[in-house]
Structure 1
Amino acid sequence: MAFAGIAPPDPFLPTPGRPVQPWFRWHDMFKVYLLVCGASEFSPERRKALLLHSLGPEGQRIFNTLSISQAAEKTEEEGTGATPDVYDSAVAALAKHFDATCNLVVKGHRFHSRIQFPGESILEYVTALTELAAMCSFITQEESRRDQFVAGVSSHRIRERL
Structure 2
Amino acid sequence: PANFLNTPNEPITPWQTWKKGFLNYLEATDAEDFPPKRKRAILFSFLGDEGNRVVDAFKLAGPSVSATQDEFQALLYALDSHFASARNIIVERRKFINRVQGPGETVLEYLGALRRLASFCDYGESLESRVAEMFISGIHSTELQDRLIRESDRANAPSLERAVQLAQQFERTSRDCDLFRRLSDRVPNASHMVERV
Q: TM-score, normalised by structure 1?
A: 0.69
Distance, in Å, in 1 between the alignment partners of 2:122 and 2:74 is: 24
Map Cα deviations across residues 107-158 of structure 1 (whole Å, 9 max, x no partner): 112201211232412x443343233223212364344323322220122222
Work out whether 1:26 is the aligned partner of 2:26.
no
Query: Partner of 1:58 in structure 2?
Result: 50
Aligned residue number for residue 4 of structure 1: none
Encode CA deviations 1:71-125: one digit per residue, 9 max, x unaligned: 969xxxxxxxx9333212211111210121112122112201211232412x443
The one of 41, 46, 57 equivalent to 2:38 is: 46
Q: Determine which of 75, 84, 89 is the counterpart of 1:90.
A: 75
Identity over the aligned pairs, expressed in percent?
Answer: 32
Partner deviation per Cα, 1:6-53 (whole Å, 9 max, x = no partner): xx523x2334x2244232343234234323432123112210111122
Look up the SS of the partner of 2:120 in the other structure. Answer: helix
Q: Distance in 2 between matches of 1:32 and 1:104?
A: 27
Point out where structure 2 has 5 or more consecutive residues left out of the alignment: 150-197
Q: Which moved more, 1:102-111 or 1:129-138?
A: 129-138
Q: Distance in 2 between matches of 1:127 and 1:18?
A: 19
- Counterpart of 2:130 in structure 1 is 144
Q: Residues 13 and 128 (structure 1 numbering): CA distance in 2 closer, same or farther, change over 3 Å?
A: closer
Q: Give, in whole Å, the separation in 1 of the partners of 2:111 and 2:105.
A: 14
Alignment map for 1:104-143 (pairs within 5 Å): 104-117=89-102, 118-121=104-107, 123-138=108-123, 140-143=126-129
Structure 1 unmatched ranges of 5 or more? 1-7, 74-81
Structure with more relative contact order (C-alpha pairs < 8 Å, separation 6 or more):
1
Bigger Rg, structure 1 or 2: 2
| CA RMSD of superposed structures (Å) | 3.0
Q: Which residue is 2:27 aligned to?
A: 35
Aligned to 1:3: none
Q: Please give the alpha-carbon distance, in whole angstroms, between the structure 2 residues aligned to 1:97 and 1:114.
A: 27
Q: Is the 8 A contact 2:60 2:75 kept in 1?
A: no
Counterpart of 1:62 in structure 2: which amino acid? V
**Aligned pairs, number:** 143
Aligned to 2:69, the other structure's residue is in SS state coil
* Alignment partners' CA distance in 2, 1:150 and 1:91: 38
